[in-house]
Structure 1
Amino acid sequence: MTTHHPNTRRLVYGHATNHDCLAFIDADTAAGEAAEIRALAAARTWGEARQVQMTHLENPAGPECYEEDDYADDKPFDITELGAIVDGYWPRMVTARALDVLPQDLQDRYGEVVLTVHNGEYLQVPLDGEAELIAKLGERGYEVTRDDDLINLLDGLGLGSVTA
């Protein structure tokens, strides 16, 4: 087991297919978010979907998004038909996370802020800057792990094929 200093920032990064660039997220919440996405994707009925407990993300099938009267508990549930997912609002764009977790000077040097029409800003970090950026983060005491599958799951890629 790797021990790390309690103040060490742990990041997971990878190639975000949707934007063809690198994405960076907080490693401490990434696994929990992924579990919540998988749990919702595995729900077979609206009742199951509503019961998915979420602490990191908002449940896009929850009562604040859908009237229970319209979607009976036993009605079949398909995550790919959820409005928030169809419209691209859930889960939050994974490439936007770099704006929260990367030091500002490194954002300025290695990335470019891109404004999307519907989902706000994200940081476009070109793939060719990977080695240098990861080295710089290491110099500053960041623990950085690459996991493309996790990054793309958190971006909502291929949700229809996700199974718990």
Structure 2
Amino acid sequence: MSDELVYGASRYGYTTIAPRVALERVAAQVHAALAAATYGEARAVDAPIDNDEIADDAAYDVRELGQVADGDWPPNAGMVALETLPSELVALMHLEHSMVGQEWAELRDEDVARVVEEARSMGYVVRRDDELICSFDSLLEL
């Protein structure tokens, strides 16, 4: 894992902290999935696929998948945090749950400074980057 964590506020009203490299990697995967025009292209970039038996040359639009319609994909920044942060940091965060069974990690306003300081004491470089956190909000608006 990268030694750099970023935290910031989402337009959806939550603040989270996550490894910069993980956020950038997931954002790039989402953009690659959005750009895929065929199932073969989607498979090449590890985009979500509902049916493995569809031919590689078949038209592909990630927005038409059940995972997107169900709200399971793409992840929000808090989901990336939950999947990539060490358990010691996740334990300091608040876990939220959606009506469709998703879970993500967020920081309550009163906990932000304490969690940032704790991450720094663990050796992480921590920077605020609302723009990167908010970039996931637009990914959710496919």
Q: Taking structure 2 as the reference length, what is the TM-score of the superposition?
A: 0.70
In the alignment, structure 2 segments of 5+ residues that lack a partner are none
Counterparts of 2:89 and 2:100, CA distance in 1: 26
Q: Deviations over 1:60-84 (max 9, x none)?
A: 13xxx31444x66242x33322211
Work out the percentage of aligned pairs sharing the same amino acid.
Answer: 29
User: Alpha carbons of 1:67 and 1:98: their partners in 2 closer, same or farther (altered >3 Å)?
Assistant: closer
| Contact in 2 for aligned 1:9/1:142 (Cα 8 Å) | yes
What residue number does 1:116 align with? 98
What residue number does 1:3 align with? none
What residue number does 2:43 align with? 50
What residue number does 2:116 align with? 134
| Contact in 2 for aligned 1:12/1:144 (Cα 8 Å) | yes
Which residue identity does 2:66 align to in structure 1? G
Matched ranges for 1:54-69 at <5 A: 54=46, 59-61=47-49, 65-69=50-54
| Contact in 2 for aligned 1:22/1:126 (Cα 8 Å) | yes
Counterparts of 2:61 and 2:131, CA distance in 1: 21
Residue 34 (structure 2) aligned to one of 38, 41, 45: 41
2:18 is the counterpart of 1:25: yes
User: Alpha carbons of 1:88 and 1:152: their partners in 2 closer, same or farther (altered >3 Å)?
Assistant: farther
Q: Alpha carbon RMSD of aligned pairs, Å? A: 3.2
Counterparts of 2:108 and 2:131, CA distance in 1: 18
Secondary structure of 1:144's partner? strand
2:85 is the counterpart of 1:101: yes
Secondary structure of 1:25's partner? strand
Residue 130 (structure 2) aligned to one of 142, 148, 158: 148
Higher alpha-carbon Rg: 1
2:6 is the counterpart of 1:12: yes
| Contact in 1 for aligned 2:37/2:61 (Cα 8 Å) | yes
Residue 57 (structure 2) aligned to one of 47, 56, 73: 73
| Higher helix residue share | 2
> For this pair of structures, how many residues does the alignment match?
140
Counterparts of 1:84 and 1:39, CA distance in 2: 16
Secondary structure of 1:136's partner? helix
In the alignment, structure 1 segments of 5+ residues that lack a partner are 1-6
Q: CA deviation at 1:21?
A: 1.1
User: Alpha carbons of 1:121 and 1:49: their partners in 2 closer, same or farther (altered >3 Å)?
Assistant: closer
